[in-house]
Structure 1
Amino acid sequence: MSGTGAGTAPRPLPGGGRPAGPGGGPAGAGGGPAGPGGGPARLPAAGQRARGGGPPWMGAGMPTEKAMNFGPSARRLIGRLRPQRRQLLAVIALAVVSVTFSVVGPKILGRATDIIFAGVIGKRMPAGSTLQQAVDAARAHGNPHLADLLAHLKVVPGVGIDFTHLGQVLLLAMGLYLAASLLGWLQGYLLNGVVQRTILKLRADVEDKLNRLPLPYFDRQPRGELLSRVTNDIDNIAQSLQQTLSQLLTSLLTVVGVLVMMMVISPLLAVIALLAIPLSMVVTKRIAKRSQKQFIAQWTHTGALNGQIEEAFTGHELVKVFGRRRDVEEAFAAKNDELFEASFGAQFVSGIIMPAMMFIGNLSYVAIAVVGGLRVASGAMSLGDVQAFIQYSRQFTQPLTQVASMANLLQSGVASAERVFDLLDAPEQTPDPATPARIADAHGRVEFEHVSFRYSPDKPLIEDLSLVAEPGHTVAIVGPTGAGKTTLVNLIMRFYELDAGRITLDGVDITDLRRDDLRGRIGMVLQDTWLFGGTIRDNIAYGDPTASSDEILAAAKAAFVDRFVRSLPDGYDTVIDAEGGNVSAGEKQLITIARAFLSNPSLLILDEATSSVDTRTEVLVQRAMAALRSDRTSFVIAHRLSTIRDADLILVMESGRIVEQGTHDELLAAGGAYHRLYHAQFAQPVADADPVASALGRGM
């Protein structure tokens, strides 16, 4: 949600009441950051955790610690690689060739072993004799095993090792391994691009999704938890894909290639090696099943801890002021312990897989070595084939072990993917109309027609409200906390959808307008200011990115920003941090007001916009806004009733209803709710001062 409007919506509490602060919607003057969060931090009570304590909505967006549906989530994650299918095909082709070269290598090295062994045996045999004579002599001397061994060797009696042939075989093996390494490097390079482009698209989709989500979604989501999904979980997905895809592809191809070579060399030994597979699968499945819930809990606690840390850091001044540092530390320690237990359990359980697989592989290795040695002795196999088969047995168990060791990464990555997919699957706000209406002549006339709205279905807030705000009029909204004052202006901005009735702007139903068009006509200044990291000039220009330097300067002068900026060493080029820590609260408010001036809206919404400025500056700002409000409608939410005496219309709200309306003098004369509010605000301090004065008098 974006627009040139000068504000963002405050976040209401469920069931109505005063919003906690800005969040969601377009950022603008005094608005909150575009996206989740904003407003004062919620500080946990002593020992209170992010989940299981506090208001019921605090953990509404937290994922439950249930067993993850691994298969569909994994398939959906792999499906996001589909746009990179050409690169993936190239990766697969390179992997096939690379693995083929690597798999053929041991067979060639086995041939080199046979050349060496045949040369050593042939050197010891008398020259001039034949191989058959040597075999017959061995049988005659009662050594049938040696006779069988010699019968299967290509031995030339009296001739030693053929180094020329041996060199050719070794060079061939070296070339194959070198080519396999180069192709593997190229495969990794292409795969890295595939993964990073996929994650780039995923991040973009998440950002777009956040802009399409309705504001109530952010009301239910702790900001730290949401940030954890957008940052930590996506980074974890990238790491998991990067580390597992290449190894998984190579490992599976290696298993297939090695299995083919083992069947060619010796079907009997291949069967012995294959016996390790079902045993390995059973062990891996049992261990992975136990670690699955642990990884879900790990990332759930990570999100909760991030939310707790973010809240504590945002409100660190309040933590110190109220002496709650120890309570915050205890809450952090409790949640940190939960994360430790979940992380330790997940990593420990999944870490058992690799040692178990290595043990099974070693058993298979011993069996192959014993049976292979017996077959060499019987002449059924050559020594080179047994050597090659032993290498293949290692190559066969190693990829299985790698796949097993990647189980923790796969579980963790898919767990994070499921949390991100939950965000992507969240219900979106209603789309803008296909053929939006246009406001031909904008003046800012706002009309509520029998409007009803409630945050919670069982808690009514605004019921059958009707009012008209004419162009150029200032409409002040007053009432006790929770009366629905800010909700009223949130409905104008379409941060929430109506339950009944309609709101029109210059005679056009706001639901017939594009949200950007609607909010582009509205300037909003909130009590809780928001400045981003950048210069003062950039923060003012946020109201209209196309504004010239002269227009920015004029807006700054109108909002009396120019008065204090001139005293700064770098003037309008002074860089302020994201929290606006190097300017005062009043100066921040003036900058956001200047931002609203610059946007030149047809409708102004001021939510306690001058609460942070001093009395003299407030008077000056009120005068400047009076000029700005010419031919524009202004909605002013105020608690200080002295600031809205000159309003054209004052609405007094209680429990979502307008109980009184009129001018300042008319409402005072009526002696109703406004009269009570006014005198409670101005008469009570005098009444409270009398006992104090009497006590001081007695003390003197």
Structure 2
Amino acid sequence: MSNFFTRPFGHERIVTKEDIVKTKQSNKNKADNMGQTLKRIWQFMRGERKRLYFIISLVIVTSLLSIVGPFLVGRIVDYYFIPRAFDGLFRILIILLATYVLLSLTTFIQAYLMVGLSQRTIYNLRHRLFEHMQELPVTFYDKRQHGELMSRMTNDIETLSQTMNSSFIQFTTSIVTLIGTFSVMLYLSPLLTFLTAMIIPLLIISVRFITNRTGPLYKIRQRRTGELNGYIEEIVSGQEIVKVFSQEDRAVENFEVRAKNLREVTFWANLYSGFIPKVMNMLNNISFTIVAGAGGILALTTNGLVTVGTIVVFAEYARQFTRPLADLSNQLNQVLSAIAGAERVFQILDTEAESDDGSITNKTIQGHIEFNNVTFSYSKTQQHPTIKNLSFEVKSGESVALIGATGAGKTTVMQLLARFYETDQGEIRVDGENIKDYSRSAIRSQTAFVLQDPYLFEATIRENIRYGRLTATDDEVVEAAKTANAHDFIMTLEQGYDTVLDLDEGFISQGQKQLISIARALITDPAILLLDEATSSIDTITELKIQESLERLMKGRTSIIIAHRLNTIKAVDRIFVLDQGEMLESGTEDELLQLQGKYYDMVNQ
């Protein structure tokens, strides 16, 4: 969890020119970033490409039909209305009607197909992202806000989804319409085409001015959205702490700072992008004025060089000529926003997954554990290692307790045994083999954890217990619950084992949650049992039940217990006293009491 309580507050962090310049420089350093991102999105469309090509062909047909309509209108004016010759008028009107009906039909079909294609592509991307997140090491989650990661899974992918739903078709339609319209305009009147095209330099300058600002702003907006979501997740998860220390006002103040940051950058991004339709409308009016004015003069002063029908067609084509340019500019903004989100998604996909490269995969572990001069630090910048030259041995089936002050390295020992982290120096051996030679799945599948803060899923009690081994039968689930002394309280519930744990309602106590988590660990029938402060959240009566069953739980398996409450470790074979990551003393309880060292002092205290 990030240190938001120690961050400076009270000054709104608005978007500055330096922010935009810094983002632009970052973009220059990654000049091919957009191309690479688009290429990777294209890879996720594998299997959809034939359908995409068909959609593109429909888009071309639709665009051409939108060009044919005004062309036919101009012909009707020149050949039927002006000379008042109505022979054949009905037929061409039928053709015009059929053109617009077909235009509507192809527009609907292409939109329908594109929505399906885009959603399947987004599904593949979202599935791959979630799958990859399950493959990432624990260190990845330790260093990041969970809410920020959720923002990438939801907000960033949704932005990309919306863009694919609409922008691709609009982008392709605009290009085809632009080329087709310009070609027909040249055919009808090169002079009017030249006059209409005079607005293009002004258009390019305007669009470039706007997109140079919106691109960096969209990147900043995506980042600040993730920061806001991360902070919300922190406060929701730590709501009890906020209330215990009466920091509600501080939480609101901190939220306001982040919300204002997001509001500021969103304001400028939307403001700049909102200029595009205004500029396009202005240029469209200028183009229409040029066509109407110049066309009228040419129609009056030249002998048939420009006809009334041509002016009618050009008036419509002038709008069709600027509209695709406006659409391209608008879609470019949307695409820039989507690419900013896609880049954040691909950053996670590019994070190296936790390898499972151990050669030992199927060996049945007996539970003989050895730490040989193990040294470990969570960070390279850490001044003092969390564990330093730690050595001890736990024989198969033996139970030991790790005790010591906070920061002594007790939990780190368990995390190293689970291969959440790797040692910096020394080695850990399991059944005589270096733990790095085991695959992570081989170690973890034969190790059960009961953590200090039990986590249960919003599912039935039966499903929560069975989560330890999905193939377990109902009878095995009940037996595990009985062994963990959880069966009696479960049977008092109205639905028994089929009771759904609605975590928001909180109808079971923290101690009962712990009993269920112990049953979940037991159903795996592990070779190694790791209990990290397993009784810290349990009331006295429940604690007695745990103590009563501890000997039964540990029988036949190697057990390592972390506990601050010394009366919970009476049943262990040996006790290891750690201090600042080093072994201070070890032995049975009687031996440590006779030694009159650290453990003796702790008992007396």
Shorter-chain TM range is over 0.9
- How many Å separate the matches in 1 of 2:188 and 2:92? 19
1:7-22 alignment, distance < 5 Å: none
- How many Å separate the matches in 2 of 1:236 and 1:216? 28
Q: Cα distance, 1:452 vs. partner? A: 1.9
| Aligned mate of 2:254, from 331, 334, 358 | 331
CA contact (8 A) 1:436 1:514 kept: yes
Partner SS state of residue 429, structure 2: strand
1:526–1:73: structure 2 CA closer, same or farther, 3 Å change rule? Answer: same
Partner SS state of residue 326, structure 2: helix
RMSD, aligned CA: 2.3
- How many Å separate the matches in 1 of 2:507 and 2:407? 33
Please, which moves more after superposition, 596-605 or 183-192?
Answer: 183-192
Instruction: Give the TM-score normalised by structure 1.
Output: 0.80
Match of 2:318 in 1: 393
1:513-532 alignment, distance < 5 Å: 513-532=438-457
Q: Does 1:589 align with 2:514?
A: yes
1:543-622 alignment, distance < 5 Å: 543-578=468-503, 581-622=506-547
| Aligned mate of 1:296, from 203, 219, 225 | 219
Match of 1:438 in 2: 362
Q: Cα distance, 1:184 vs. partner? A: 1.9
| Aligned mate of 1:321, from 217, 241, 244 | 244
Partner SS state of residue 506, structure 2: coil
CA contact (8 A) 1:81 1:198 kept: no
CA contact (8 A) 1:350 1:407 kept: no
1:436–1:182: structure 2 CA closer, same or farther, 3 Å change rule? Answer: farther
Q: Cα distance, 1:428 vs. partner? A: 2.9
Structure 1 consecutive aligned stretches of length 4 or more whose deviation exceeds 4 Å: 45-52
Q: Cα distance, 1:65 vs. partner? A: 7.1
Superimposed CA distance per residue, residues 390-422 of structure 1 (whole angstroms, 9 cap, x where no aligned partner): 211111111111122223322221211121122
Q: Cα distance, 1:210 vs. partner? A: 0.9
Q: Cα distance, 1:477 vs. partner? A: 0.5
CA contact (8 A) 1:50 1:304 kept: no
- How many Å separate the matches in 1 of 2:458 and 2:361? 36
Please, which moves more after superposition, 380-389 or 505-514?
Answer: 505-514
Q: Cα distance, 1:236 vs. partner? A: 1.2
Superimposed CA distance per residue, residues 61-105 of structure 1 (whole angstroms, 9 cap, x where no aligned partner): xxx973363864433343223412211111111111121122122
- How many Å separate the matches in 2 of 1:273 and 1:502? 77
Match of 1:501 in 2: 426
CA contact (8 A) 2:12 2:260 kept: no
1:43–1:644: structure 2 CA closer, same or farther, 3 Å change rule? Answer: farther
- How many Å separate the matches in 2 of 1:43 and 1:277? 50
1:331–1:532: structure 2 CA closer, same or farther, 3 Å change rule? Answer: same
Match of 2:5 in 1: 44
The residue identity in structure 2 corresponding to 1:297 is I
The residue identity in structure 2 corresponding to 1:648 is D
Q: For structure 2, which runs of at least 5 residues remain unmatched after alignment?
A: 14-20
Partner SS state of residue 534, structure 1: coil
CA contact (8 A) 2:446 2:527 kept: yes
The residue identity in structure 2 corresponding to 1:655 is Q
Q: Cα distance, 1:432 vs. partner? A: 2.3
Q: Which has the higher contact order (CA 8 A, sep 6+)?
A: 1
Bigger radius of gyration among the two: 1
Q: Cα distance, 1:43 vs. partner? A: 6.9
- How many Å separate the matches in 2 of 1:290 and 1:110? 41
Match of 1:87 in 2: 51
1:238-257 alignment, distance < 5 Å: 238-257=161-180
CA contact (8 A) 2:533 2:562 kept: yes
Match of 1:213 in 2: 136
Partner SS state of residue 273, structure 1: helix
Q: Cα distance, 1:501 vs. partner? A: 2.4
Q: Does 1:114 align with 2:102?
A: no
- How many Å separate the matches in 1 of 2:94 and 2:440? 70
Superimposed CA distance per residue, residues 167-189 of structure 1 (whole angstroms, 9 cap, x where no aligned partner): 11111122122212211221112
- How many Å separate the matches in 1 of 2:204 and 2:352? 39
Q: How many residue pairs get matched?
A: 588
- How many Å separate the matches in 2 of 1:532 and 1:652? 35
- How many Å separate the matches in 2 of 1:527 and 1:575? 22
Superimposed CA distance per residue, residues 486-542 of structure 1 (whole angstroms, 9 cap, x where no aligned partner): 000100000012212222222232222222221010010001110111111111111
| Aligned mate of 1:473, from 398, 417, 424 | 398
1:108-507 alignment, distance < 5 Å: 108-120=72-84, 161-162=85-86, 164-377=87-300, 378=302, 379-433=304-358, 435-440=359-364, 442-459=365-382, 460-507=385-432
Partner SS state of residue 494, structure 1: coil
- How many Å separate the matches in 2 of 1:637 and 1:454? 20
Match of 1:66 in 2: 23
- How many Å separate the matches in 2 of 1:565 and 1:461? 40
CA contact (8 A) 1:44 1:328 kept: no
CA contact (8 A) 2:511 2:542 kept: no
Superimposed CA distance per residue, residues 597-638 of structure 1 (whole angstroms, 9 cap, x where no aligned partner): 111111000001112222232232233231232221001011
Please, which moves more after superposition, 182-191 or 579-588?
Answer: 579-588
Match of 1:125 in 2: none
The residue identity in structure 2 corresponding to 1:401 is A
Match of 1:37 in 2: none
CA contact (8 A) 1:483 1:653 kept: yes
- How many Å separate the matches in 2 of 1:273 and 1:213? 56
Partner SS state of residue 517, structure 2: helix
1:263–1:241: structure 2 CA closer, same or farther, 3 Å change rule? Answer: same
Please, which moves more after superposition, 201-210 or 525-534?
Answer: 201-210
Q: Cα distance, 1:437 vs. partner? A: 4.2
CA contact (8 A) 2:356 2:440 kept: no
Q: For structure 1, which runs of at least 5 residues remain unmatched after alignment?
A: 1-19, 21-40, 53-63, 121-160, 681-700
Identity of counterpart residues, as a percentage? 38
